[in-house]
Amino acid sequence: MKTGSLDVARLVIARDLRLAFRKPSQLLQPLMFFMIVATLFPLTLTPEMSRLRDAAPGVLWVGALLSSLLALEFLFREDAQDGTLEQFALSGQSLTWMLFAKTCVHWLLTGLPLALSAPVAAVGLGVPAEAMWSVVASVALGGFALSLIGAISAGLTLGARRGGVLLSLLTLPLAVPILVFGADATHRAITGGDIGPPMQLLGAIAVLGVTLAPLAASAAVRIGLE
Amino acid sequence: MSWAWFHRFASPPWVYGFAARWTPWFGGAALLAMLWALYAGLVLAPPDYQQKDAFRIVYIHAPSATLSMAVYTTMAIAAAVGLIWRMKVAHAVAAACAPIGAWFTVATLGTGMLWGKPMWGAYWVWDPRLTSELVLLFLYFGYMGLRAGIEDPVKADKASALLAIVGIVNIPIIHYSVTWWNSLHQAPTRLLGKADMVWPMVWPLLLMFLAFFLFFGTVLLIRLRAELLRRERNASWIREVLA
């Protein structure tokens, strides 16, 4: 019996979620890192709410970017080391599709929790309550695009002895457009502007990412496995 | 049409000999063109009515900026050729391009800062074109970092080739995202047709573009030979060539 692609995606997602919830500490690390980064800014910049509000989009986005980079290290590395990715590649199923499913799980476990916890950090940065939904939406959408871009660099660094700094060096330049539009959406949300245009551009980047990034990621993983 | 001329480029010894033969020609032409263009740009061209003599840095700045992007494109094309047709020489070309392109990017940023101080009153402003140039430098760093980080040479070639291709898809998106974000840099100057500059200023610049491309060709051929020697150090043809 041939397994359909939706079944494959369901199996990959179920497996990754189950494995992730067996190590809750690893799951919480990016979130805690994000909170600590957000705490450092009032301490170093100013405790004054009006000035923090101006800096809030930058703080939220740099924090979210750094924490998702931290989690990117675990996206493929463990599965590459224990041979799971090799089995994926040999399974006869589309590796692109399976890696896309893995990337979606990565977003579910890091991007989405980061977006949902962004209001906690945002309150501390003087962001008004009515802007919260827009802040959550922009960080969630931007985080999805970041996970897709990140999957490429995570695949590329599989062949390197250590990911770490190299992973950030590869991802950050590619993430510039996401950061620009994401921070702009958050800024508009805080100042009561129209978040439509930057959100649409973020959406366009995410759609482009969905179309091309899994292909590039699977090519990168295949190179790493050779 | 015969493809023999193309297939020869897949052979490291032939390319090594080709590079050795052409280096002096490219180098000599680059030197002549650059000296002539420097004299024309610094002495013959009239000073700008607004920027006075400070505008003359354009003769280094603009060609460096063009080359910084042209070299990335060359690198990505060579990388794609290497990935698709599994040509070792193409990967060597891509590897040789990266540091040259990074230096052109540094030269662009450096001359731009020197120009910015008298014109804008600051060495650095967060303008889209400055920012994309800086991001381009980071892309070069990422490419070289990935190449250096992977020990297996075949894997390093393929992974960095893929990164170069991903980068070239991303460069326009990065460029337009930062353009939309903030703008101060002057719009591109039209050189031909309905030109923004007068001809006595334009021709030394065009000559300098040619000189920079020739210079790039010279350095690429030299670096390519070094790269081939390093990669093929265990091959028997090296002994014959160096004997």
For residue range B54-108, what is the model confidence (pLDDT) as tens digits? 778 888 888 998 898 889 999 999 999 988 888 888 899 999 999 999 999 999 9
Q: What percent of chain B has pLDDT over 70?
A: 90
pLDDT over 80 (residue B33) = yes
Q: What is the pLDDT of residue B193?
A: 55
Q: What is the pLDDT of residue B203?
A: 82
pLDDT over 70 (residue B183) = no
In a domain, residue B9? The reply is no
Distance CA B67, CA B149 (A): 26
Which pair of structure tokens corresponds to residue B220? 């690429």
Q: Name every chain A residue with its beta carbon within 8 A of the beta carbon of B91.
A: none
Distance CA A20, CA A16 (A): 6
Q: What is the pLDDT of residues B97-150, one digit of tens each?
A: 999 999 999 999 998 888 888 777 778 877 777 888 888 999 999 999 888 888
User: Of A186, A224, A226, which is closest to residue A202 (Cα–Cα)?
Assistant: A186
Of A168-182, B78-92, B203-217, B228-242, least confident by mean pLDDT is B228-242
Mean pLDDT of B218-228: 91
Q: What is the pLDDT of residue A183?
A: 85
Q: Name every chain A residue with its beta carbon within 8 A of the beta carbon of B150.
A: 159-160
How many Å separate Cα B169 from the centre of its chain? 18
Q: Does B163 sit within 8 Å of A170, measured CB to CB?
A: yes
DSSP string, B121-144: SSS----HHHHHHHHHHHHHHHHH
Kindly indicate the confidence band of residue A177, based on its pLDDT and cuts at 50, 70 and 90.
Answer: confident
pTM of whole model > 0.90?
no
A159: nearest CA in chain B?
B150
Q: Name every chain B residue with its beta carbon within 8 A of the beta carbon of A152.
A: 166
Q: List C-alpha distances in Å: B168 to A173, B67, B172, B179, B193.
A: 12, 15, 8, 17, 30
pLDDT over 60 (residue B184) = no
Q: Does A157 sit within 8 Å of B149, measured CB to CB?
A: yes
List the 120-159 stretch of A: residues with Cβ below 8 A of B: 152-153, 156-157, 159
B152: nearest CA in chain A?
A159
Distance CA A104, CA A111 (A): 10
Q: Name every chain A residue with its beta carbon within 8 A of the beta carbon of B157.
A: none
Which pair of structure tokens corresponds to residue A89? 């590649």
Evaluate whether B156 touches A159 at the Cβ level (below 8 Å).
yes
Q: What is the pLDDT of residue B217?
A: 92
How many A/B residue pairs have CB atoms within 8 Å?
Answer: 76
Q: Does A161 sit within 8 Å of B149, measured CB to CB?
A: yes
Q: How close B3 comes to chain A (CA, Å)?
A: 29
Evaluate whether A147 touches A106 at the Cβ level (below 8 Å).
yes
Structural domain for B52, as ranges: 16-242
Listed in sequence order, the residues at least 6 apart from A125 whose beta carbon sits closer than 8 Å to its beta carbon are A38, A41, A42, A49, A52, A53, A55, A56, A59, A60
Q: Does B145 sit within 8 Å of A159, measured CB to CB?
A: no
pLDDT over 90 (residue B170) = no
Evaluate whether A158 touches A96 at the Cβ level (below 8 Å).
no
Domain count, chain B: 1
Q: Does A176 sit within 8 Å of B178, measured CB to CB?
A: yes
Alpha helices in A125-195 (DSSP H): 132-156, 164-174, 176-191
Q: Name every chain A residue with its beta carbon within 8 A of the beta carbon of B79.
A: none
Beta-carbon count within 10 A of B148 CB:
12
Distance CA B138, CA B41 (A): 31
Mean pLDDT of B203-217: 88
Burial profile A164-184: b = 16 or more Cβ within 10 angstroms, e = fewer: eebbbbbbbbbbbbbbbbbbb
In a domain, residue B120? The reply is yes
Alpha helices in A45-175 (DSSP H): 49-81, 84-90, 95-106, 112-124, 132-156, 164-174
Q: Does B162 sit within 8 Å of A216, measured CB to CB?
A: yes
Kindly indicate the confidence band of residue B196, based on its pLDDT and cuts at 50, 70 and 90.
Answer: low
Q: What is the pLDDT of residue B1?
A: 59
A174: nearest CA in chain B?
B170
Q: What is the pLDDT of residues A187-224, one digit of tens each?
A: 888 887 777 888 888 888 888 888 888 888 888 888 87
Q: What is the pLDDT of residue B186?
A: 57
Kindly indicate the confidence band of residue B154, based on its pLDDT and cuts at 50, 70 and 90.
Answer: confident
Q: What is the pLDDT of residue A115?
A: 86
Q: Does B158 sit within 8 Å of A212, measured CB to CB?
A: no
Q: How close A220 comes to chain B (CA, Å)?
A: 6
Q: Does A174 sit within 8 Å of B167, measured CB to CB?
A: yes
Kindly indicate the confidence band of residue A101, based on its pLDDT and cuts at 50, 70 and 90.
Answer: confident
Q: Which amino acid is at A90?
A: L
Listed in sequence order, the residues at least 6 apart from B11 whose beta carbon sits closer than 8 Å to its beta carbon are B89
Q: What is the pLDDT of residue B222?
A: 92
Mean pLDDT of A78-88: 80
Q: Name every chain B residue with its beta carbon within 8 A of the beta carbon of A172.
A: 138
pLDDT over 60 (residue A1) = no
Put simply, whether A215 touches B (Cβ < 8 Å) is no
Q: How close B99 comes to chain A (CA, Å)?
A: 16
CB-nearest partner of A156 from B138, B162, B174: B162
In a domain, residue B157? The reply is yes
Kindly report the backbone phi and psi dihedral angles of residue B52, in degrees, each rounded to the nearest multiple of 5, phi listed first.
55, -135
CB-nearest partner of B177 from A181, A208, A226: A181
Of A110-119, A215-224, B37-46, B184-193, least confident by mean pLDDT is B184-193
Q: Does A212 sit within 8 Å of B162, measured CB to CB?
A: no
Q: How close B148 comes to chain A (CA, Å)?
A: 9
Put simply, whether A180 touches B (Cβ < 8 Å) is yes
Mean pLDDT of A168-188: 86
Q: What percent of chain A has pLDDT over 90?
A: 1
Q: What is the pLDDT of residue A25?
A: 79
List the domain boundaries for chain A.
5-225
Q: Does A159 sit within 8 Å of B155, measured CB to CB?
A: yes
In a domain, residue B3? The reply is no
Q: List C-alpha distances in Å: A4 to A8, A11, A96, B94, B184.
A: 6, 11, 14, 40, 53
Burial profile B42-76: b = 16 or more Cβ within 10 angstroms, e = fewer: eeebeeeeeeeeebbbbbbbbbbbebbbbbbebbb
Q: How close A81 comes to chain B (CA, Å)?
A: 16
Put simply, whether A220 touches B (Cβ < 8 Å) is yes
Listed in sequence order, the residues at least 6 apart from B6 whose beta carbon sits closer than 8 Å to its beta carbon are none
CB-nearest partner of B141 from A169, A181, A216: A169
In a domain, residue B11? The reply is no
